[in-house]
Amino acid sequence: MITPVLISGCNFHNTTGRQPSPQPFPSVTVPVMLTGQEAAEYAASHYWNRYFDSTQVWNGISDTLIGGVTEDAMTQAVRDYIMALWSIPYDKAMEAQHHLMSLAEASTVTDTSGHIYDFIVNVMESALWNPLSELRNEGFYIPVVESVLSTRRTGEHYSSYYQQQLTTCRNNAPGAYAADFTYTDAKGRLHSLYETQSEYTLLLFSNPGCPACREIIGMLKSSPLISSMVQDGRMGLLSIYIDEDLAEWFKDLSDYPEEWITGYNQDLTIRDNLVYDVRAIPSLYLLDRDKKVIFKDISTGMLMLQLERL
């Protein structure tokens, strides 16, 4: 049974009486005729094939190896794979994730203990679900949770845990229209999210005065790319306060540049009704012209990389 932790160790048992030697993670080989975006998509979609092919014929199970590969090497392989997902269109990344989980599920036929499958789930949870992970992406995590629930590898308690994760991941998921909401500006005027007219909307949920919020505000303010997009009208930067201490919000309004749009959610529906399931503050969403979600709760570093590709 899967125990939801950030990254768990694996308790393999040697069935052959010998300790197999660690093997390097078998990297994907991209056909030479593919370049650019096609090469990136091929690499992501075929990333795990050689690894799972090798585990099917591997005869040893040890206390320190995961399908013949060390835990550190596997963790690095997952991180490299997730970076590959970030470099391709969302639908292609989701196809790659579904493919990975189908391979992981099939591996349990040979690895009856399910240690390889459980490791994949746990390290994906750490990278994609943990709100402190720079690689976090709830959309990429959906196929992982769906696999866990469909394979019934959890007890009743943990099934509820993963079901709640899935509900959160599907709330304002990439590709969906962002939920509209109303907010009040510093002059008491009422507005809505969908009033923002620009090619992109960068939605920031923040609390005035919190150190993490000030850090992210500083990073956004100092970005020449974001400043240029805001000044040119390509991007509307909307900062919303979702708590009730308005005196604190008014006190720290000077933290936000004048060209940003700032307001507070006066009816607290964002927080109380989970219109947006904001798991940690600050939280960033990037929306397109039609208010479809491009990126949900994206880290600042990853946002900067993605904006350069727009």
Last residue of a domain, one of 170, 196, 212: 170
pLDDT of res. 266: 96
Tell me the angle at which helices 211-221 and 300-307 cross, rounded to the nearest 10 degrees. Answer: 20
Answer whether 10's CB lies under 8 Å from 115's CB. yes
* Domain co-membership, 75 together with 193: no
pLDDT of res. 156: 65
pLDDT of res. 59: 47
- How many domains does the chain fold into? 2
Q: Assess if residue 24 is contained within a domain.
A: no
* Domain co-membership, 200 together with 109: no
pLDDT of res. 1: 52
Q: Assess if residue 120 is contained within a domain.
A: yes
Q: Assess if residue 260 is contained within a domain.
A: yes
pLDDT tens, per residue, the chain with 310 residues:
554 433 333 333 344 455 567 888 999 999 999 999 999 999 999 999 999 988 654 544 555 678 888 899 999 999 999 999 999 999 999 999 999 999 999 988 888 888 899 999 999 999 999 999 999 999 999 999 999 999 987 666 678 999 999 999 999 999 999 999 999 999 999 999 999 999 999 999 999 888 999 999 999 999 999 999 999 999 999 999 999 999 999 999 998 999 999 999 999 999 999 999 999 999 999 999 999 999 999 999 999 999 998 8
* Domain co-membership, 157 together with 202: no
* Domain co-membership, 191 together with 160: no
| Domain, as residue range, for 80 | 36-170
Short-list 222, 238, 228, 224, CA closest to 285: 238
